[in-house]
Amino acid sequence: MIFTRRDFIKQLGFVSIGFSLLGTACMSNETGENVAESDESNRPEDINAWLRVMEDGSILILTGKMELGQGIRIAVAQVAAEELNTSPDLVEVNLAETGVTANEGYTAGSRSIETSAMSIRNAAAAAREKLLNLASEKWGVPQSELTLENGTISGGNEKMSLYEVLEGRQLREEIGQPSEIYGKTRRKYVGQPVPRKDISQMVRGNLDYVQDLDFPGMVHARVIRPSGYTSKLGSLDDSSLEGFPGFLKLVRIGSFVGVIAEEEYQAIKLSWEVNDLAQWELGDELPAGVPLKEHLKTLDAEVETEEEKGDWESAIKEAPIQHKAAYYKPYLMHAANGPSCAVAYFEDEKLQVWSHTQGVYPLRETLANLLEIPEASIHVKGVPGSGCYGHNGADDVAAEAALLAVEFPGRHVRLQWMRDEEHRWEPYGTAMIMELEAGLNSDGKIQGWKYDFWSDGHSTRPNGEPKTLLPARFLDRDHGVPGVGFKGGAVRNSKPYYAIDALQTTSHIFQGPLRKSALRALGAFGNIFAIECFMDELAHKAGKDPVEFRLDHLDDERAVACLDRIKKMTSEVKKGNGEGLGYAFAHYKNSASYFAVAAHVQLNDKGIVKVKKMWGVIDSGETINPDGLKNQTEGGMIQAASWALREEVQFDKEHVTSRDWHTYPIFRFEEIPEVEVEVIDRVEEKPLGAGEAAQGPSAAAVVNAVFDATGERIRDLPVNPVEKYLR
């Protein structure tokens, strides 16, 4: 099959935005009226599923992962450029898109480099070897005398572009096992801080996100929200809307209500009008009359022993030093700076959706079941959005836009949530309770350990079931609610990575009162926060330095190296009055990145904690882009510090009351600490997931630093609740 750049663009059949193949000029003159036929015959074991050689000499990389700000686009470009000995400037990356890229599920769990980038690495290395073999056969020149560089093969008296060598075809052979990985042996681009092309565009505000999409004739929509999760629409007299400026249609499907208008502000004003006209039945009350920490303990829970070894009970009871502590984290928001947004277009029984979802294929499957449309008739294009890591409102707004587009075919329907909607209706990171007990021997070593934690499930992402999407619960057909969801997220990092001979870890999985799903690090945030604070308390009980105490319980040289380095980085820190220094460590998932962290905090005269500086040491195995790895780690440290000090979802009996940046405060620019991160690059090792490694340890380091400053143990988050700022 001859496959040109032009063919690829024609196959897409819809608008591509500024950072994709076609450029921003196409935004205003491509209507996107024809859905591309899905080309899902490409098997993931074939080179063609990951890599295409284009007519102009560029290399097109296809990744099923989404760019969420983690820098996956430049990382996979570096990996491919290395194996093909081609400048990253000649490598283009097409992000997740049904029928075009491989189905890689979700961009989640710090797996993008471990999975997608390594698949692309192998495909590019295999492509290099097959291209050199083709040229050798074509010219009768030994492969040892051929050179591949910047999209061209030369040798003897011959020189051809890769496209010419292939005669316009693509490599459909299986990847197999390449004989050499340049990323391990040459490292011309891999391991280098190759700049991201999108950063300067972000700074200038000219990068196109899903929120910026524009189509000829596009209309705007808003959804009218009830007061609570189980509210039902009683009555709605819409007779007065006909003469409203810009009004096109009111959509009512059961208790799901939306308005469509010519202009966005018209849609907003219409939503206000309809909200005044609608009469709602309130539904079930939320448990606002009792502290949430107390309420969670009253819920029915599925109890299961997750880890057990040795006679932990006797080891604790017989220990000369015994200690107990309980910790708590509240519900946390994704708190995306840009409210969720999507565009949908429906015509001739085919649906197109542009979304910042983290899983284009799972979303397509779930939309198909929600709308009762064949999957083959739905095309989902991943477009980066202003958001954050985890399952926020992106899938929900895509489903709502799709529902409205089906009711208003032939024109692109754009739906963007308002700030109030984003805060009150997104799925949160669940609240957790963590209780620990341990016994120390006379040498200050842990001889027995008991850990119990209470948690909801940590992911209810779209999985084919409509009930995972917010609008499904308000339609006339009762789809139900997701339930607990992914229990494994709660268990993550619940087993301590330290060498302890006798221990038990027990999970208590409940279904809580608020909507929840995956938030960065899932249960690892709460588990590591509690374990690392408890390790600090045990070190104090043993009369030992907190870093040395951890080192005494580690037998992994990579973990030891991280802690040794963090200790050196902070050896010259001087603490003033009301200041403290705290440490923490974790091996994310006990299988991904190693991370050690220190935090320097200061208390003001109102008792409000401020983080002055944080230090981090991360070992993610082989480093693809050290700047990208540092950026991920710095961002995780700052976000975790904000979670620890400021953030908490609050609610009354009807619904969530944290509806803006005053009632749900996050770090402001002036609160962001200085951050210093060092990377341990282990070329001989495989790359490890890093995007979530900093969350739990960073929060623990901050809280441990508060103890160092005050002598007071804070075990419930946030350290600085909203009330402190309102004094």
Name every residue whose Cβ is closer than 8 Å to that of residue 253 and which is 6 or more positions away in sequence.
Answer: 403, 407, 475, 476
Per-residue confidence (pLDDT) for residue 724, from 0 to 100: 63
Single-letter residue type at 40: E
For the chain, which ranges sit under pLDDT 70?
1-42, 722-727
pLDDT at 40: 53
All structural domains of the chain: 5-198 (3.30.365.10), 211-282+334-425 (3.30.365.10), 290-324+428-544 (3.30.365.10), 556-727 (3.30.365.10)
pLDDT of 25 reads: 25
Q: pLDDT for 6-62, tens place per residue?
A: 454 444 433 333 333 322 222 222 223 222 333 455 689 999 999 999 998 899 999
* Residue 330, preceding peptide bond in cis (omega within 30° of 0): no
Bridge-based pairing state of the strands 247-253 and 256-261: antiparallel
If you count them, how many residues does the chain have?
A: 727
In one-letter notation, the amino acid at residue 600 is H
> Global pTM?
0.93
Q: Where are the beta strands (DSSP E) in 138-229?
A: 147-149, 152-155, 158-161, 219-224
The beta strand positions in 268-312, using DSSP E, are 279-281, 302-309
φ, ψ at 474 (rounded to 5°): -110, -5
pLDDT in tens, 553-572: 999 999 999 999 999 999 99
Angstrom distance (rounded) from CA 40 to CA 59: 20
Q: Residue 229: which of 19, 480, 450, 35 has the closest Cα?
A: 480
Compute how many other C-beta atoms are within 10 angstroms of the C-beta atom of residue 310.
15
pLDDT at 26: 28
| The pLDDT of residue 233 | 96
Strand order through the sheet with 219-224: 247-253, 256-261, 219-224, 413-416, 341-347, 350-355, 378-382
Taking each helix axis from N to C end, the angle separating 394-407 and 360-371, rounded to the nearest 10 degrees, works out to 40
Q: What is the DSSP letter of 720?
A: S
